[in-house]
Structure 1
Amino acid sequence: MDTINVLIVDDSALMRNLVSRMVENVPGITVAAKAMNGQMALEKLESIKVDIIILDLEMPVMTGLEFMRERKKRGLDIPVIILSSIAHRGAAVTMECLELGASDFLLKPSNVGSEDVGKVADRIVQMVQSYGGAYARKQGKKIPLFASTSREERPAPAAEGAAPSAPKPVTSAFTVPASAKSGPIQAVRESGPIEIIVFGISTGGPNALREVFAGLSPDIKKPMVVVQHMPAGFTAEFAASLNNICPLEVKEAAEGDLLKPGRILIAPGGYHVVVEKRSLASIVHLNQEPPRNGHRPSADVLFESVVKEYQANALGVIMTGMGKDGAAELAEMRRQGARTLGQDADSCIVYGMPRAAFEMGAVQKQVPLNKMAEAINELALKY
């Protein structure tokens, strides 16, 4: 079996070694090279083949942003994961890197000796396997697919102190066993006019939402609410970047925001978002109740409120992501008569959340990413 080759780019030797340790002991991943700035990374790419780049932003000689600009100029398509800081400037630059073609990003651990390190390690491995694995397979490498379970949903080690096992390979490309399929859910009432559209999305989401939102019709008059799993401090910049390419208004949700026709609200990182229908105006509320399915914001929390307030008068969309967040409550939305869409396996970076929903019978129609905007437009303008 071939391996996913990784290039780590960071001016800190400590961080290069830390990230290297996070991935090099995972079967199927090899640290092919390290570089201390963007210029050195470009030089290394001339002599070695890699399947994914883990890139710091703040470096001497050539920054991460400058590297991304040069990558685009040279037509390089190797996926890039950004290592970002939580500062406002870091968020703005991170979003610019996504616009330049970076696949995703994650926060550096705030303290090398903190609990953050384990969470960051888990996310890096997931991203390397997802983005790097997909790229490597396109290059003809034999790379297995991996089970789409998150740290919170994996079994604990058998004995105290035992190392966690590597993610389990999936034997075939996103095949759903017949025994796992529950069949389509039979709704208890007929679907009504769509009054709200809600999304749940995670790994692979930043670029997937960019593609979908750019293709939405300016004539849609339904409010939309999005849960994208993203750290606190980044969703305002993310919403602003989407607003630049979407014909509808996109903003980070704030407590008490109105659900206006044609407005898209993005759940803030670190906050659950729920909807409330009122006689004069419908609004959103934010809260910091415990994470659900390991996430805050959680798609299940949003969808649950939609079930309560809108029943059959909603459209739920579940897209690429690790784990199962959103699946259970999307199933309940469908049971109450809401319309539902799920991203298909072939176009997902990780077919986890949509797969879980599909297996529960929650998804009326599976749609490839490049057809998702068209499918949403059709339903939103028809009903």
Structure 2
Amino acid sequence: MTHHRVLVVDDSAFMRKVISDAIELLADFTVCGRARNGREAIIQARLLKPDIITLDVEMPIMTGLEALPELLKTAPVNVIMVSSLTSSGTEETMKALSAGAVDFIAKPDNGISSVDRLSEELACKLRAAAEAQYRPVSLSAPVKRVPNVQSSGTSERAVVIGTSTGGPKALQMVLPLLPKDLPCPVFIVQHMPAGFTASLSKRLNNLSAITVKEAESGEIAKNGVAYIAPGGYHLTMIRKGTNVSLQLDQEKPVHGHRPAVDVLFTSAAKAQFEHVTAVILTGMGKDGAEGLKQIASHSPYTCLSESEASCIVYGMPRAAESTGLVTAVHHLHEMAAEIVRRC
């Protein structure tokens, strides 16, 4: 059995203990060290060479965001951010994910039940991080040019995107390349808890020509707008004549997720679009594969899957490809151009 060594970094002694205790319950993970701030973390990482680091976002002396670039230079390591639910905490977490952290967990507010939930979530995140491919952030990655769009009238097409671990970074390499006059709406499920999708949407909107926003229940979908499912809510759509109305609900999680990609994809399959472009990006697990089957059964479609060469975690694309329904596999740098070509 492979043992993955974890460095725990947190300003709070309580959180260091909670995280360490949760890790020690897992047979294939062990705590190799602890640190109280970013400066200590850098020293420990150089000495201990951990496989994974859990890194508090907000710390004195040196914050997690300040320490992250140096930690990523020390050795191939996957970093999980540990974030508060404050506005500044969620925004800093989005910056960290863009800078190379593979995932994050939210700190519990209080109470034994919330600590138990953190332990369960941490186990999932650690396993994803153990599977994740270390990919240094490239500032000059080759990007396939996106063609100009010639559009008139209202589109009866849609783009649906599903992603999980590594998704915020992947979305940042796709959505900003889509043209403002994209002739269809885009619907996105990113596995993420409540409180963080607002920061993700805001960050992506600031970087993109298209409008990026959290989906709101009852709003009518518009071309050139990307709608991100809010954390804690499934996103579905209902056809109302020539319009498509968005709906949010808190039905039970699917594959442990709410929002779930399968729920979005199944809804898109039944919304009577002339064509659906389904996109599966990096993520652990199989969410999206069953929904893809529904799309293929109900609608003319294209399915684009992210290649293993660019995925942080190849699980969701692999599961989609195993259905035999994927139209084409593309490196992330090509994905925006391919989406536009299929619209």
Partner SS for 2:49: coil
Alpha-carbon spacing, 1:294–1:48, altered in 2? closer, same or farther (3 Å): closer
Aligned residues: 324
SS at match of 2:235: strand
Match of 1:42 in 2: 42
Aligned to 1:327: 289
Q: Deviations over 1:176-202 (max 9, x none)?
A: xxxxxxxxxxxxxxxxx8611011111
1:11 aligns with 2:11: yes
Measured against aligned partners, the alpha-carbon deviations of 1:249-281 in whole angstroms (never above 9, x if no partner) come to 111111222311111010111111111233353
Post-superposition offset of 1:86: 1.8
1:204 aligns with 2:202: no
| Stretches of structure 1 lacking an aligned partner (at least 5 in a row) | 139-192
Q: How well do the aligned residues superpose, as a CA RMSD in angstroms?
A: 2.7
Q: TM (normalized to structure 1)?
A: 0.76
Aligned ranges for residues 231-380 of structure 1 at < 5 Å? Answer: 231-310=193-272, 312-336=274-298, 337-380=300-343
Matches within 5 A, 1:190-229: 195-229=157-191
Superposed displacement of residue 221, structure 1: 1.6
Q: Is the 8 A contact 2:49 2:75 kept in 1?
A: no
Post-superposition shift, 1:348?
2.7
Q: Tell me, which stretches of 5 or more residues in structure 2 are unaligned?
A: 137-154
Specify the alignment match of 2:57 in structure 1: 57
Distance change (3 Å), C-alpha of 1:136 and 1:312 = closer
Task: State how far apart, in whole Å, the 1-side matches of 2:158 and 2:2 are.
Answer: 46
In the TM superposition, what are the counterparts of 1:161-180 in structure 2 within 5 Å? none
Q: How many Å apart are 1:378 and its aligned residue?
A: 2.1
Measured in 2, the distance between the counterparts of 1:136 and 1:323 equals 18
Q: Deviations over 1:200-250 (max 9, x none)?
A: 111221111112223334442211010111111111110011112222111
Task: Give the secondary structure class of the aligned counterpart of 2:174.
Answer: helix
Q: TM-score, normalised by structure 2?
A: 0.84
Mark the CA change 1:303 to 1:111 in structure 2 (over 3 Å): closer, same or farther. same
Residues in 1 aligned to 2:239 and 2:256: alpha-carbon distance in whole angstroms: 27
Identity of counterpart residues, as a percentage?
A: 42
294 and 130 in structure 1: CA distance in 2 versus 1, 3 angstrom threshold: closer
For the residue of structure 2 that corresponds to 1:30, the secondary structure is strand
Contact 2:51–2:76, Cα closer than 8 Å, also in 1: no
Distance 1:126 1:290, change over 3 A: closer
Please say if residues 176 and 210 of structure 2, whose CA atoms lie closer than 8 Å, have aligned partners that are also in contact: no
Letter in 1 for 2:308: A
SS at 1:54's partner residue? strand
Q: 1:220 to 1:214 in 2, by over 3 A?
A: same
Return structure 1 stretches of 4+ with deviation > 4 angstroms. Answer: 69-72, 74-77, 132-138
Q: Which residue of 2 aligns with 1:181?
A: none
Write the distance in 1 (CA, Å) between the matches of 2:188 and 2:67: 31
User: For residue 106 of structure 2, what is the aligned residue in structure 1?
Assistant: 107
